[in-house]
Amino acid sequence: MKVTIVGTGYVGLVTGACLAEIGNDVFCVDVDPRKIEILNNGGVPIHEPGLQEMLRRTRAAGRIQFSTDVKASVEHGDVQFIAVGTPPDEDGSADLQYVLAAARNIGKYSNGFKVIVDKSTVPVGTALQVKRVVDEELKARGLGGSEKHGFSVVSNPEFLKEGAAVDDFMRPDRIVIGIDDDRAGNLAREKMKRLYAPFNRNHERTLYMDVFSAEFTKYAANAMLATRISFMNDLSNLADTVGADIESVRRGIGSDPRIGYHFLYAGCGYGGSCFPKDVQALAQTARENGHTLRVLEAVEAVNRDQKEVLVNKIVKRMGEDLRGRTFAVWGLAFKPNTDDMREASSRRIIESLLERGATVRGYDPVAREEAERVFALDLADRPDELKRLHFVKTQQDALTDADALVIVTEWKEFKSPDFWHLKSALKAPVIFDGRNLYEPEAMAEMGIDYFAIGRPHVELDRNGSSN
């Protein structure tokens, strides 16, 4: 099938690469010429495991192309995926300007029946707005009501985890398709069924529903996962106060099959491109319709406060004035296996340390360049703080002569470091762990003053041993 992907971000690139991998003829378009140049030169503008190799194969086979030519992209694909960004607006609602601009271009250049697929995460009712915009453009061309130039708008939300997006697309646990129950919708259903047939050979994974429900499903899924994270983070702070171990609690409740273990890890808050903006957007949709989603309001508030918990532990241990102190920070991306810095906890934590006068040396296996770009923007009006922020190439470079280690992202390479070497590199053996990677008792036995999230702090005696 001939498929067009509008937008070459995480969702667009993964969708395009995977559909090309299974034999489709894919045209990826983007208004950013820098991205297209990178892609046409064999590079990838994002870090996603397995994506570059897949793009190399499909490009060599001639099944995927990249361009800024909007007219050619619309003429190419019978199925037009809109996979552009929907950043949060000032009130928390999703900004649909890029989605509607893509829809307008489809109507402007349409050369036959098109299935227009909303792949971007969009609020309930977006498909109606897309339909209206395309209708306006077709009527302006004198094509309104023409069956030949008809179209159907489909909602097909993505459920991809950054860092595992390729596997998620190729082995989906479900494919949600919202579609109208009319003649155009029936034609679109057949095309979508054919497109996704390779993913349904073992068993049917596609869930068909109305468009509103499909749009709602994406937000509901992310809101549920964010709720589990904030729930555990809220409990972890109480565990700190009453002396419970949140890891023991996690195992105790996760063993209940009604609850399960997924997304029950306490930490220093969630980030990324999905959870923060989707929780805000769903809460705003509720307000616009006269409702208050009280649980989601609390989820967002807990997550906002959780990003300061680790800093509060640092201040309690080392004082409010951190001038002359240097902190090694391991992990900058919002999660492992990505270079995505959007809403990353490291941004809040590092800025809080800098505000108190500290020097920070940050290390991340893949997010260094993106972190440099982001912090240059975040701290553009605070040059003194920016001078005290350094991004280094190795874990060791971050540790040397630092007053403490702060762990923010749970990369695998941080899980089993050489602790004796770590102790000798630091000025003092102190770790503030925002992801609970280590066992407090084991750290104390090695003479490391270890502070985690919702886990007991084991005091060390003057000789550096646990009491």
> Is 277 marked as a binding-site residue?
yes
Burial of 416 (0-12, 13-18, 19+ CB in 10 A): exposed
How far does CA 105 lie from the centroid of its chain? 27
Query: What is the spatial distance between Cα 100 and Cα 95, in angstroms, rounded to a whole number?
Result: 10
> Is 266 marked as a binding-site residue?
yes
> Is 139 marked as a binding-site residue?
no
> Is 43 marked as a binding-site residue?
no
> Is 199 marked as a binding-site residue?
no
Query: What is the spatial distance between Cα 243 and Cα 237, in angstroms, rounded to a whole number?
Result: 10
Active site residue 274: yes
User: Which residue(s) pair with 79 in the sheet?
Assistant: 3, 115
> Is 335 marked as a binding-site residue?
yes
Burial of 211 (0-12, 13-18, 19+ CB in 10 A): buried
> Is 412 marked as a binding-site residue?
no
Which tokens belong to 230?
A: 């904030």
Q: Pick the catalytic residue from 18, 28, 268, 274.
A: 274
> Is 270 marked as a binding-site residue?
no
Query: What is the spatial distance between Cα 207 and Cα 49, in angstroms, rounded to a whole number?
Result: 27
> Is 265 marked as a binding-site residue?
yes
- Cα three-residue angle 260-265-266, rounded to 5 degrees: 140
DSSP string, 146-201: -STT-EEEEE----PPTTSHHHHHHS-S-EEEE--SSHHHHHHHHHHHHHHGGGGS
Which tokens belong to 137?
A: 């453009």
> Is 114 marked as a binding-site residue?
no
Which tokens belong to 318?
A: 């080392």
How far does CA 50 lie from the centroid of its chain? 17
Q: Which candidate, 406, 410, 226, places its Cα nearest to that of 303?
A: 226
Q: How many Cβ atoms are within 10 Å of 221's Cβ, its own excluded?
A: 16
Query: What is the spatial distance between Cα 1 and Cα 25, in angstroms, rounded to a whole number?
Result: 6
Query: What is the spatial distance between Cα 134 and Cα 100, in angstroms, rounded to a whole number?
Result: 9
> Is 121 marked as a binding-site residue?
yes
Query: What is the spatial distance between Cα 447 and Cα 50, in angstroms, rounded to a whole number?
Result: 40
How do beta strands 175-178 and 359-363 pair? Answer: unpaired
Query: What is the spatial distance between Cα 189 and Cα 171, in angstroms, rounded to a whole number?
Result: 21
> Is 296 marked as a binding-site residue?
no
* CB contact at 8 A, 240 and 454: yes
> Is 35 marked as a binding-site residue?
yes
> Is 342 marked as a binding-site residue?
yes
* CB contact at 8 A, 78 and 114: yes
The length of the chain, given as a count of residues: 467
Residue 365's contacts (CB-CB under 8 Å, 6 or more residues apart) are: 411, 413
Binding residues: 30, 35, 86, 121, 159-162, 218, 263-267, 271, 277, 335, 342
Residues with a catalytic annotation lie at 274
- Binding site for NAD(+): what residues are annotated? 30, 35, 86, 121, 162, 277, 342
Binding residues for substrate: 159-162, 218, 263-267, 271, 335
